[in-house]
Structure 1
Amino acid sequence: MKKILPIVLIFIIISSNSAFKHFNVFNSKASSKEAEKSNEITVAAAADLVFAFNDIGKLYEKETGNKVKLIFSSSGTAREQIENGAPYDVYASANIKFVDDLISKGKIISDTKQLYAVGRIGIATKIDSPLKVNDVKDLLKEDFKKIAIANPDHAPYGTASKEALQSLGLWEDLKDKMVYCKDIQDVLAMTKSGNVEAGFISLSVYKKDEMNFMLIDDKLHKPLKQAMAVVKGTKNESISRDFIKFVNGKEGREIMKRYGFVLPGDI
């Protein structure tokens, strides 16, 4: 009997360890599935969307219970990040071409691509500045020593601003005054601080109590067609698709229009 007891104890210990390992594996799988079912999505959004998407994101969270993390930058910067594997769920670009580029590289779920807005650009000066722009040619005046522009190499609004100046035959005369910024928000900050006398910003970030602003004729540059889509590899495809649908839905479109965007159906 004394010899049997240790054998029984050994058997119980082995069985317990096996069950414990099985329980850990089960828990690990459950945790993995739980992570996949996260209700938070990360949206890489163009810098011109800061105010509009903050409003849309809050409303979407309130109505659905899902969470939206917004990361704003120039569309070109976000495109490069996604191409290099950045774990975004949704890409909202200020240039539809950037979305198409990522589709061709297999980084975007192609059937999720949707046009959501067309942007407008203008010239801003500090609210208390004696300098105001009533005509683009005013920028040629000596008083305008520095002019901020989003870098045309990766920022769609910067590209459009340069195109407008080229259409008017002013780019060569003004290019030495240009201060290149990473995105529209950077331009806005430089202009509001007084570090530059004027800046090219989007209508969507203009606030009349903070800036003087002159809208530029949109015939002077290519249309700023803005598109968004779901990033391939997301673990939250369903919520990502739903967010895009919300942006282009009644409530989302009302917010976009409030910030000066031209809506897809109005093009």
Structure 2
Amino acid sequence: MVNFLLIFIGLSFTQIAADEIKVAVASNFYPAMKEIVLQYELKQSQSSENHNIVLISGSSGKHYAQILNGAPFDIFFSADKVRPILLEKKGISETGSRFTYALGKLVLWSSLDGFVEKDERLYSNDSRFLAIANPRIAPYGVAAREALISLNLWEDLQSRLVRGENIAQTFQFVNSGNAKLGFISYSQLMNPSYPVAGSFWEVPQTLYTPIEQQVVLLKKSSLAKDFLSFIESDESLNIISKYGYDLP
């Protein structure tokens, strides 16, 4: 009887430990995702099941490289659609799991009130540094580069550019005052928990390729599939919209 009880407890602990997913999230979406996870856990709180969703924030490019190298992620929320499409083509993601969860917007931001009105500060010399996310690994960096190319400023501003590893680091460059200007995600200014001061210009979407943020399922599990279904629920869509994203 004692041995049976020990076996039963052991199986129960194994089930609890297995009921966990690791979710790789693009830096721009991390604050919104934290709130979505809280809502999901609240909804599941009446259930006897024990869910654990581990969020890993970083640039989409780094997450993509980690996935190719075997990182144990269950879901990947990218800040673009390029990498999810590549994972699908390589057979690394689950077929048919890819969809757009948010449409991002690029802004030129300064932590100084009244400093940014339109794009005129990009043409002046009163801002020593201009922060952007690294275009090699961050989709919002790609959008910033495209906008500057559209404005015929990319080559002229090379000596003033400082590149963040991801959009969160780019935000910190500007927020700390190390750079007076930076291209960031509009969602970073819309975080309800952290009101952001300063001034910004919403970059016309005609100047850059639409930022279509997509997600893919990397490993099948009932928890991962249920969580992805929740992402498309009204509760999640309301949160996504609240954080400044357009809905697909």
Asked if the contact 1:146/1:198 (under 8 Å) is kept, the reply is yes
1:93 and 1:211 mapped to 2: Cα distance?
28
Q: 1:159 to 1:252 in 2, by over 3 A?
A: same
- Aligned partner of 1:8 in structure 2 is none
2:132 is equivalent to residue 165 of structure 1:
no
Moved over 6 A (4+): 26-29
Asked if the contact 1:151/1:158 (under 8 Å) is kept, the reply is yes
- Aligned partner of 1:75 in structure 2 is 60
1:202 and 1:216 mapped to 2: Cα distance?
10
User: 1:1-267 counterparts in 2 under 5 A?
Assistant: 30=11, 34=15, 38-65=18-45, 66-126=51-111, 129=112, 132-207=115-190, 209-232=196-219, 237-264=221-248
1:57 and 1:211 mapped to 2: Cα distance?
29
Structure 1 residues 157-216: Cα deviation after superposition (integer angstroms, max 9, x where no partner): 000011011111111111221101101100111111001111110011114543322110
For these two proteins, the number of residue pairs brought into alignment is 237
Q: Secondary structure at the match of 1:172?
A: coil
1:181 and 1:250 mapped to 2: Cα distance?
33
Q: Secondary structure at the match of 2:155?
A: helix
Percent of aligned pairs with the same amino acid:
33
Shift of 1:106: 2.0
Residue 77 of structure 1 aligns with an amino acid whose one-letter code is: K
Give ranges in structure 2 of 5+ residues lacking alignment: 46-50
Asked if the contact 2:143/2:208 (under 8 Å) is kept, the reply is yes
Residue 176 of structure 1 aligns with an amino acid whose one-letter code is: S
Shift of 1:98: 0.4
**TM-score, structure 2 as length reference:** 0.88
Shift of 1:30: 3.6
Asked if the contact 2:114/2:199 (under 8 Å) is kept, the reply is no
1:85 and 1:252 mapped to 2: Cα distance?
29
* Superposition RMSD in Å: 2.3
Shift of 1:38: 2.7
Q: 1:23 to 1:40 in 2, by over 3 A?
A: closer
Residue 31 of structure 2 aligns with an amino acid whose one-letter code is: F
Asked if the contact 1:44/1:72 (under 8 Å) is kept, the reply is yes
Structure 1 residues 18-59: Cα deviation after superposition (integer angstroms, max 9, x where no partner): xx9x999x7899479526x73322110011112211110111
1:59 and 1:130 mapped to 2: Cα distance?
34
Structure with greater Cα Rg: 1
Residue 253 of structure 1 aligns with an amino acid whose one-letter code is: L
Q: 1:57 to 1:23 in 2, by over 3 A?
A: closer
Asked if the contact 1:206/1:213 (under 8 Å) is kept, the reply is no
Greater helix share, structure number: 1
**TM-score, structure 1 as length reference:** 0.82
- Aligned partner of 2:48 in structure 1 is none
